[in-house]
């Protein structure tokens, strides 16, 4: 089936053919651009340059339903899509003529599909001949920049043949029924393909790439081959804990964590004062340790913990976020919810910068520690702009529930996660962790927000967030293809929020190098696991 506008145009033109054969249908069909179709007198007189919309009936479907027309499958779906693409790049005048010839082809094949077995065999042969001639003409012209006179002659010959077919075809009601059935079938196929595409995208999002799985397995096996005395980082602190800039990363992805660490060090003006705190799950802890033991983030300092090391966490912590019907790991990950326990995870710290593992740091971030948060707990970028209704609280939180309606403003702007500076002293003073536990338990009893930790975080940090300048944090590189290069390159942190993560093959190609630049693909582990740019 042709993709996009090409498929919709064919079905619409077939319906126009019904109107031409049955005059009373013309008004009902209500053509969107009213253009005149070749060989169909009285069907309207428009510009002729625009392609119409609607459902798609592919050439192959027409041919398959009629063995007599099997010779007309000259354009496969792939070839047709390629021709459409080449035509769309043609100059305006050439493009209009080529679309007109494509329309003639569609009509001719429709007449052949519904030709009566008792009708004129001479007309059928003539239509087949004109189809082959016009297909050759289109394939040739779509790669050039002008329409030769011989091509126009072929088009006029086709127009005359179509006029004969129009006069000869008597079964308008039968044709109407069949075309409607074909249109319905095509729409069903489109829906099925879209559903399949969405499913495959979810599989790609949830499945660890083969190379990453290999890397985790290789790192884990080598970690357990180390002498127990070699399984930790050397204690080389020369400063008090309060003298460091503390960065936290909660992740189960080794390479993603490596990019955050590498990019932060690269952008820092004083990397020796950076201390990274990585928290991962028990399964990935050995691999994470082995990677940073063999690739130490000098001159910065690093500490790595497993969730299992946090003995104060509830026994069901790693499983309590599973929800029926929700399989996306972004929404069910215990590591995403660990951010609501920061003072307990880091009891000796008073301030902390939390980075998601799908970010790249491009500017020095130490100025964030100097920002006056005016007694607020969380410093974050707001995601809505003037007049933007999509990124408002009402879109992710259930305001039909009285407990939500009474306490929150539906038009409040959503604040981003991914780059957050937290005042942990103020957090402890205001009991934010208790607020989280209260709302989490309420959400288990009734549906108060959409899946994931972001909506819940908006309630927890409501009126507790100091807005940061938007240049600190640009989001959307995992779903929005319209973000400009200038906006990306002036940002302190870019965030691949969305499903199309930079380590996946389905990622957005033009954003991939911002992430790739902070991995050394000559690393032996990456080479052994066939991980390349």
- Buried-exposed string 203-232: b where 16+ CB fall within 10 A, e elsewhere: ebbeeebebbebbbebbbeebeeeeeeeee
Other C-beta atoms lying within 10 Å of the C-beta of residue 57? 28
Same domain, 126 and 239: no
Task: Give one word for 431, left, alpha or beta, with left for phi > 0 and alpha for psi -120 to 50.
Answer: left
What is the reported pLDDT for 325? 61
What is the reported pLDDT for 279? 97
- Judged by average pLDDT, the poorest of 39-53, 119-133, 298-312, 507-521 is 39-53
Same domain, 317 and 395: yes
pLDDT bucket at 401, cuts 50 / 70 / 90? confident
What is the reported pLDDT for 204? 55
Closest to 310 in 3D by CA, of 288, 332, 336, 342: 342
Other C-beta atoms lying within 10 Å of the C-beta of residue 399? 14
- Judged by average pLDDT, the poorest of 28-32, 93-97, 203-207 is 28-32
What is the pLDDT averaged over residues 440-461? 85
- Whether residue 399 is contained in a domain is answered as yes
Same domain, 115 and 245: no
Range with top average pLDDT, 86-100, 371-385, 386-400, 439-453: 371-385
Same domain, 361 and 267: yes
- Whether residue 276 is contained in a domain is answered as yes
Residue 51 has pLDDT above 50, yes or no: no
Give CA torsion, residues 88, 90, 96, 97, to 10 deg.
-120
Same domain, 245 and 152: no
- Whether residue 6 is contained in a domain is answered as no
DSSP code for 468: P
Which domain, by its residues, includes 472?
211-529
What does pTM read for this prediction? 0.65
pLDDT bucket at 405, cuts 50 / 70 / 90? confident
- Whether residue 116 is contained in a domain is answered as yes
What is the reported pLDDT for 233? 87
Write down the mean pLDDT value for the chain.
80
- Whether residue 402 is contained in a domain is answered as yes
Same domain, 486 and 371: yes
Closest to 206 in 3D by CA, of 328, 337, 326: 328
Percent of all residues in the chain with a pLDDT value above 70, rounded to a whole number: 73
Domain boundary among 170, 192, 224: 170
Domain boundary among 111, 141, 170: 170
Count of domains in the chain? 2
Other C-beta atoms lying within 10 Å of the C-beta of residue 434? 9
Residue 53 has pLDDT above 70, yes or no: no
DSSP labels for 99-129? Answer: HHHHHHHHHHHHHHHH--TTS-HHHHHHHHH
- Whether residue 312 is contained in a domain is answered as yes
* Angle at the Cα of 127 from the Cα atoms of 121 and 130, rounded to 5 degrees: 145
Range with top average pLDDT, 37-46, 99-108, 229-238, 316-325: 99-108
Higher pLDDT, 231 or 240: 231
**CA dist., res. 212 & res. 198, Å (int):** 23
Residue 468 has pLDDT above 90, yes or no: yes
255-299 confidence digits (pLDDT tens): 999 999 999 999 999 999 999 999 999 999 999 999 999 999 999
Q: Is the dihedral of CA 407, 411, 416, 417 positive or negative?
A: positive
- Whether residue 382 is contained in a domain is answered as yes
**CA dist., res. 283 & res. 306, Å (int):** 9
Same domain, 165 and 217: no
What is the pLDDT averaged over residues 475-485? 93
What is the reported pLDDT for 247? 98
**CA dist., res. 129 & res. 458, Å (int):** 66
As separate numbers, helices (DSSP H) first and strands (DSSP E) second, the chain gives: 21, 10
CATH number at residue 279: 3.90.550.10
What is the reported pLDDT for 388? 47
What is the reported pLDDT for 171? 61
Same domain, 414 and 499: yes
Same domain, 475 and 386: yes
**CA dist., res. 288 & res. 231, Å (int):** 11
pLDDT bucket at 530, cuts 50 / 70 / 90? very high
Same domain, 415 and 486: yes
- Whether residue 3 is contained in a domain is answered as no
What is the reported pLDDT for 348? 94
What is the reported pLDDT for 445? 78
Same domain, 148 and 281: no
What is the pLDDT averaged over residues 315-322? 79
Same domain, 406 and 493: yes
**CA dist., res. 402 & res. 238, Å (int):** 54
């Amino acid at each position: 089936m042709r993709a996009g506008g090409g498929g919709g145009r064919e079905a619409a033109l077939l319906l126009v053919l019904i109107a031409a054969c049955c005059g009373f249908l013309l008004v009902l069909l209500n053509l969107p651009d009213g253009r005149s179709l070749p060989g169909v007198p009285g069907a309207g007189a428009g510009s002729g340059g625009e392609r119409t919309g609607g459902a798609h009936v592919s050439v192959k479907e027409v041919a398959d339903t009629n063995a007599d027309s099997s010779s007309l499958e000259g354009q496969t779906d792939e070839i047709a899509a390629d021709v459409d693409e080449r035509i769309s790049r043609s100059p305006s005048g050439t493009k209009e003529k080529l679309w007109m010839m494509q329309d003639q082809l569609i009509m001719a094949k429709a007449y052949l599909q519904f030709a009566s077995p008792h009708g004129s065999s001479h007309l059928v042969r003539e239509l087949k001949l004109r189809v082959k001639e016009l297909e050759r003409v289109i394939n040739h012209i779509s790669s050039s920049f002008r329409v030769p006179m011989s091509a126009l002659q072929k088009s006029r010959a086709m127009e005359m043949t179509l006029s004969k077919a129009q006069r000869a075809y008597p079964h308008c009601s039968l044709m109407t029924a069949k075309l409607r059935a074909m249109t319905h079938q095509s729409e069903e196929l489109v829906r099925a393909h879209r559903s399949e595409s969405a499913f495959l995208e979810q599989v790609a999002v949830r499945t660890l790439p083969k190379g990453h799985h290999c890397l985790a397995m290789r790192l884990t096996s080598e970690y357990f081959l180390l002498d127990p005395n070699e399984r930790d980082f050397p204690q080389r602190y020369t400063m008090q804990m309060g003298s460091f800039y503390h960065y936290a990363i909660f992740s189960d992805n080794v390479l993603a964590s490596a990019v955050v660490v590498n990019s932060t060090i690269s952008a820092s003006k004083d990397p020796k004062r950076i201390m990274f705190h990585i928290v991962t799950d028990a399964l990935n802890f050995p691999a994470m340790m082995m990677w940073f033991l063999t690739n130490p983030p000098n001159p910065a300092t690093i500490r790595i913990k497993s969730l299992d090391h946090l003995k104060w966490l509830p026994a069901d912590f790693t499983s309590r976020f599973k929800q029926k019907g929700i399989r996306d790991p972004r929404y069910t990950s215990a590591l995403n919810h660990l951010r609501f326990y920061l003072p307990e995870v880091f009891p000796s710290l008073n301030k902390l910068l939390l980075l998601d593992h799908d970010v790249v740091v491009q500017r020095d971030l130490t100025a964030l520690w100097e920002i006056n948060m005016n007694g607020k707990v969380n410093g974050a970028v707001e995601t809505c702009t003037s007049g933007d209704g999509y990124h408002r609280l009402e879109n992710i939180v259930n305001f039909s529930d009285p407990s939500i309606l009474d306490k929150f403003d539906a038009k409040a702007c959503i604040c981003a996660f991914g780059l957050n500076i937290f005042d942990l002293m103020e957090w402890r003073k205001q009991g934010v962790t208790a607020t989280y536990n209260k709302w989490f338990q309420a959400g288990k009893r009734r549906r108060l927000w959409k899946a994931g930790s972001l909506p819940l975080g908006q309630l927890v940090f409501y009126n507790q967030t100091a807005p940061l300048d938007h240049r600190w944090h640009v989001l959307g590189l995992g779903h929005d293809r319209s973000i400009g290069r200038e906006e990306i390159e002036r940002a302190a942190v870019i965030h691949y929020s969305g499903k199309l993560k930079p380590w996946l093959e389905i990622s957005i190609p033009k954003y991939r190098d911002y992430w790739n630049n902070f991995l050394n693909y000559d690393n032996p582990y990456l080479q052994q696991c066939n991980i390349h740019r």
